[in-house]
Chains A and B, each alone.
Chain A
Amino acid sequence: MRRISTASLMSLHIVPIVFIRDLSKLYRQGDINIAALHDVSLDIASGEFIVLMGPSGSGKSTLLHIIAGIDRPTHGSCRVQDTDVARLNESQLADWRNRNVGFVFQSFNLIPVLTAFENVELPLLLTGLNASRRRQQVTTALNLVGLGDRQDHLPRQLSGGQEQRVAIARALVTDPPLIVADEPTGNLDAKSATDVLEILRNLSQQAGKTVIMVTHDPKAAAYGTRQLHLEKGEIVV
């Protein structure tokens, strides 16, 4: 198991953001417990672009979900900044996700009846910002992904690449420290995939966001600052 220690991150003047210790996740199938993750320990520095790779069923998506606060570990701890995500209740987790995590999915997960603007605005509805401030932030986020002129388009009026860029704008509109992406290029053509990966890399390198991406694609993985391979619920490289 490979781990970059907190001390070594600190010595490189890098602020750690994710601290995972002895993390396990068991699923029960009938009478049998299946380990999706087995005693994983991992530190991720702020501003890193981590790529999680591995075969299907290796536990990479489970790890991503636990870090992002949409799944819970069976054992161990997962601290993101100062919060032990595993200890938050359902309601606290929802608030925490809204403030701290931006999500990018393989199939974009945009709400089909809402325009690009309204989709990006969704997480801001929970922040208590007034309408003009929300408009300002949404416009900034859409401009950042190059879709400032597509605000009023419905998802079906956009290409796959544009849809994914709207999803990235939605992920960063609340300015979260952590962006998680679950196979974000899986449904895109090569050109669109490159655009999306460039944006994610820029978010990490220029905006200082911590990006954690799950992918099967070695070309996509090359954009990361660090690659972690999982097999049978353990980090092997």
Chain B
Amino acid sequence: MPAVFTLLIDSFLAITALGIAAVFLTAFLSAVPVKYNLKSVYIRWRSTLATVVGIGLVVLVFVLLQSLAVGIEKSNASTGDPRNILIARKGATAESSSLVTRAQLRTLQYFEEIERNAEGDPVISADVLVLASLPRIGPSGEANVLLRGVTARGMELRPQVQLVAGRWFSPGRREIVVSRKLAGRFANFKVGDSFKTGPALLTVVGWLDGAGSAYDSECWMDADESRSLFEREMYSTFLVRPKNPEAATNLIRRIENDKRLQLRAESETGYYRKQTLTAAPIKWLAGFLALTMSIGAVFAAMNTMYAAVGARTREIGTLRVLGFHRRNVIVTFLLEGILLAMLGGALGCLISLKWNGYTTATLSIESFSETVFAFTITPVLVGQGMFFAAALGFWGTLLPAVRAARLPIISALKSL
């Protein structure tokens, strides 16, 4: 996003936040008949209901779209073990687009930074990632699924992945364990089912659960069987466990500096955290929809508040006669508009909670496969939704409030 555009948005948000804070502070510190506004909103509930519902819907769309982006980010952020190092081909943007050789694996096996197991073997998993186009449940066609060929060591390095039904695959057999969350979306993913991919028939022998991580979007099978089935000479990536954090730093530096290897290494958690491409367009869509819908919502709020000022002209005149200043009148109407909008915001946030945790999927831009994630409504997101609602109320009420404050007292008193 251009820096000027970002600066403009930030400035606008800062002005809005300051304006809202000033309204609440002034209402708290000076004489504003808050009770009058609250009761006016309550009494005029029919005319204000449309505005409340309208703002509620805008906030609902905003929160839900943002919760999708948060869900994808959370899924990526909770993937991996901070002790692991992921090694991929230099220049590869994702595991599925990376290719690493057996020679590179042999070289790595002699690196003393990598931990050894009880048998004295280095803790390295060489994985094979393949995209398979498989039919979904129902008439919605096919979608790509990420098949990961792993070794027993690869499973040890990923303890957050658990078997929740059936059994693990047996090495050397055409068996596969699919994600439980994908099983709800793809045909023939029940334990005992078989499906055809490429030349072979794979049998589903179990379901895995990735505890909300990116592994929930994968199917696992034996690495060697996968290489043989898909005729792969090479692996996709290596996952290694260094001896300690210092060894991890050294290992990353060593791999990066070794010109012969042509590999890139980084922490597994860091790699997944950076997989933000899929969430970015959703965030943009959320922003764009929020902006366009908020213009309509601001006009709806403005309409309601102009009507409120029109209906209460004589009351405004009376307040002025009794000694209330113009600024009191502005604050009192702004407060009313903001509270009204926040009521709508609360409604929108409340309805959005119904979708919290609901699992859905989209095409991952990084792996080009179906990626499963959950609508994730966080307290921060609810706070953003409420601020968004308050901002709609503030900007929608500003002009009507100024108009109310500028009414000449005598003509206001004569109003019917």
Could you list which residues of chain A lie within 8 angstroms of chain B, going by C-beta atoms? Answer: 65, 68, 70-71, 90-91, 94-95, 97-99, 103, 105, 109, 111-114, 118, 122-123, 125-126, 170
Contacts and interface: CB of A to CB of B under 8 A. Distances in A.
A212 to B, nearest CB: 15
Contacts of A98: 322-323
Interface residues of B, number: 24
Given A65-B410, A94-B325, A114 B320 contact: no
B323 A126 contact: yes
A17 B246 CA distance: 89
B413 A94 contact: no
**Cβ-closest 9 pairs across A and B:** A98-B323, A113-B39, A125-B31, A109-B318, A126-B31, A123-B322, A70-B409, A94-B325, A113-B43
Given A65-B410, A114-B36, A114-B39, A126 B314 contact: no
B323 A95 contact: yes
Given A91-B325, A91-B326, A113-B39, 18 more contacts: A65-B410, A70-B321, A71-B409, A90-B325, A94-B326, A95-B323, A97-B322, A98-B323, A103-B322, A105-B318, A105-B413, A109-B314, A109-B321, A111-B36, A113-B42, A113-B43, A122-B319, A125-B33
B410 A126 contact: no
Contacts of A68: 321
A97 B318 contact: no
B312 to A, nearest CB: 9
B35 A94 contact: no
Contacts of B319: 111, 122
B315 interface: yes
Nearest to A123: B322
Contacts of A91: 325-326
A183 B279 CA distance: 69
A113 B311 CA distance: 13
Contacts of A65: 410
A109 B410 CA distance: 13
10 contacts: A65-B410, A70-B410, A91-B325, A97-B322, A98-B322, A99-B323, A111-B318, A112-B315, A114-B36, A118-B36
B35 A118 contact: yes
A184 to B, nearest CB: 14
Nearest to B321: A103
B35 A126 contact: no
Please indicate which of the listed interface residues A68, A70, A103, A113 has the most CB atoms of chain B within 10 Å of its own CB.
A113
A113 B36 contact: yes
B33 A94 contact: no
A109 B413 contact: yes
Interface in B40-73: 40, 42-43
B324 interface: yes
A7 to B, nearest CB: 34
B316 to A, nearest CB: 10
Contacts of B321: 68, 70, 97, 103, 109
Contact of B410 (A71, A103, A122): A71
B29 to A, nearest CB: 11
B40 A126 contact: no
A123 B325 contact: no
A213 B315 CA distance: 22
A123 B323 contact: yes
A90 B39 contact: no
Interface in B318-356: 318-326
Contacts of A113: 36, 39-40, 42-43
Contacts of A109: 314-315, 317-318, 321, 413
Please indicate which of the listed interface residues B31, B317, B320 has the most CB atoms of chain A within 10 Å of its own CB.
B31
B201 to A, nearest CB: 74
Nearest to B317: A109
Contacts of B31: 125-126
A97 B325 CA distance: 11
B9 to A, nearest CB: 36
A30 to B, nearest CB: 18
A68 to B, nearest CB: 8
